[in-house]
Structure 1
Amino acid sequence: MILRMIFLSALLLMALPALANPLSAVTCHCFTDRSYDAARPEAADAYYLAATQNTFFAKLFKTEKKLLVRGKQKGMLMEDFWVAHYVAGQAKSSAETLLKARYEHPNWSATLAAQEIDGQSLEPFFTNALASEASGTRLDRVIVDELLPRHGVLNKGDIAPLRQAGLENQELLMVALLAKKSGQTAQAVAQGKSATGKSWSALFHEAGIDIARIDSEIDDLLRHSG
């Protein structure tokens, strides 16, 4: 009997990876450092980056940040949130439904097909990106690169150089806020960060951007853009 129980336990342990749902991986978003500390200038950068992107995303798509955070804690990826909410707005669908469906399919092309959403009915820039998804095109980056100029957050001509410099979605938003506060161009801000090696939280501190008031900062950015 004991040997039989040991055998069954071993089989169960071997099966766990196969039974695991893609959403079962929990990502912690309980940031320890949430304010700039001159003694540890990079300690709060992860929080600043996440808070800025989450706030901008929530206001752009008129959703709640807490839903975004909960989704991430369940293992959902930020890149999928960008795609799901963009497509939902275009196709008059539910972002929540699309997100859940995404983890039942290998990619977004298959997900949209399963949801009976014709990629050709979406905007051309996204349709073209979707066609090259299998070859590695990052759909979230394509969406961000389209929406930021569309909402006047960054100039269209600034996007490519900033991407070539290695900036991700979160960092583009940081640069946009810093450029607005300082009156510099986005490229000048990015070049200055690269040259000085300063942390994002240090740059926000120097520019007078209070991360505790990030909602009003993003409101102001969107209100005076475009």
Structure 2
Amino acid sequence: MISLRHIPYHFCLAIFLCAPLPVFATPAITCHCFTDRSYDAARPTAADPYFLANAQNSFLAAAYKVDKKSIVLSKQRGTSSDDLWLAHGIASRSGRSADSLLQTKQTKASWNDVLAHLGINTKSLGGKLAGAAAARQPDARLAEAVVDDLLVNNRLLDEQELSALRRSGGTNQEVIISSLLAIKTKKTARQLLQQVKSGSTSWGGLMSKAGMEPASFQKEFSVLLKSR
């Protein structure tokens, strides 16, 4: 049984209400609080949204060495996962800060516009992100490119496996959590994703069998990123 201390909803809400929003920001609010945070065999998929979000936040925090709490708070304030991936991904390749990039994004319709406004050469971004930006792909695709570059460059997935996951409709969250579970279980990420999508198991069920706790995600990713 996977267990994790529940953070009361009212506590999450209080954090959000007390946190000051930038005066220039008017994002849609997306509460990042989850009622179900532990695996229940009687309701095997109930906590999957939490496990998926936790894995993504943990990977982002480990990859860019940022405080995971700040990522959660940013999402509670309305910053999307795509914006966070792109802000940190572009910051790591351009010498600019993620915060300044997010501020610029508040006044622009897309990340392509941000790059153009700041005069950032798409070629300097490197990897899949450079190609996607040069082709002026939508923000969601640019964010996928950031995630894909991290997974491949750090050898958590190879190109073939990653392509198979994306062709199967794997989201950033699903690709990230399946890459970690594949390493822990010695199965392929593609097999794990297909099992979940077919309804034969859930992410919580896979974690339970692997003896994994969501609280360990960031540490697991940090170790993997250092060893590769």
* Shorter-chain TM-score above 0.5: yes
Query: Do the aligned residues in 1 keep the contact of 2:182 with 2:192 (CA within 8 Å)?
Result: yes
Unpaired segments ≥5 residues, structure 2: 1-22
Distance (Å, rounded) in 2 between the aligned partners of 1:163 and 1:83: 19
* Higher RCO structure, 1 or 2 (CA under 8 Å, sep 6+): 2
Q: Is the 8 A contact 1:182 1:207 kept in 2?
A: yes
Report the counterpart of residue 176 of structure 2 in structure 1.
173
CA displacement at 1:191 relative to structure 2 = 2.8
- Tell me the residue number matched to 2:40: 37
In structure 1, C-alpha distance between the alignment counterparts of 2:121 and 2:33, rounded to whole Å: 38
Q: Which residue, out of 192, 197, 202, partners 2:195?
A: 192
Q: Provide closer, same or farther for how the CA distance between residues 56 and 135 of structure 1 changes in structure 2, counting only shifts above 3 A.
A: closer
Greater helix share, 1 or 2?
A: 1
* Identical columns (%): 38
**DSSP 3-state at the match of 1:111:** helix
Structure 1 residue 113: deviation in Å?
A: 2.2
Looking at structure 2, the residues matched to 127 and 176 of structure 1 have their Cα atoms a distance apart, in angstroms, of 23
Deviation at 1:149, TM superposition (A): 1.0
1:146 is the counterpart of 2:138: no
Report the residue type matching 1:219 in the other structure: S
Match of 1:17 in 2: none
Does the Cα contact within 8 Å between 1:41 and 1:201 map onto a contact in 2? yes
- Residue deviations 1:155-210 (CA, integer Å, cap 9, x gap): 11101111111111111111112111111122222233334531111111111111
Alignment CA distance shift 1:111-1:180 (3 Å): same
| Partner Cα separation in structure 1 for residue 224 and residue 208 of structure 2 | 17
Q: How does 1:83-162 map to 2 (within 5 A)?
A: 83-123=86-126, 125-133=128-136, 138-162=141-165
Mapped contact 2:207–2:213 kept (Cα < 8 A): yes
Q: TM-score, normalised by structure 2?
A: 0.82
Distance 1:124 1:175, change over 3 A: closer
Once residues 127 and 27 of structure 2 are traced to their aligned partners in structure 1, the CA distance between those partners, rounded to angstroms, is 34
- The alignment partner of 2:26 has SS state of helix
Cα shift at 1:92: 0.5
Question: Does the C-alpha gap of structure 1 residues 186 and 124 become closer, same or farther in structure 2, counting only changes over 3 Å?
Answer: closer
Which residue pairs with 1:25 in the alignment?
A: 28
Larger C-alpha radius of gyration, 1 or 2?
A: 1
Contact 1:180 1:221 in 2 (8 A): no
- The CA deviation at 1:148 is 0.3
User: How many angstroms apart in 2 are the aligned matches of 1:218 and 1:58?
Assistant: 9
Q: Deviations over 1:128-166 (max 9, x none)?
A: 211323567710111211220101111111011111111
- Match in the other structure for 1:48: 51
Q: Give the Cα separation in 2 of the matches to 1:214 and 1:54.
A: 9
For 2:186, which of 183, 188, 193 is the aligned residue?
183
TM-score by length of 1: 0.83
User: Is the contact between residue 56 and residue 173 of structure 2 (CA under 8 Å) also seen in structure 1?
Assistant: yes
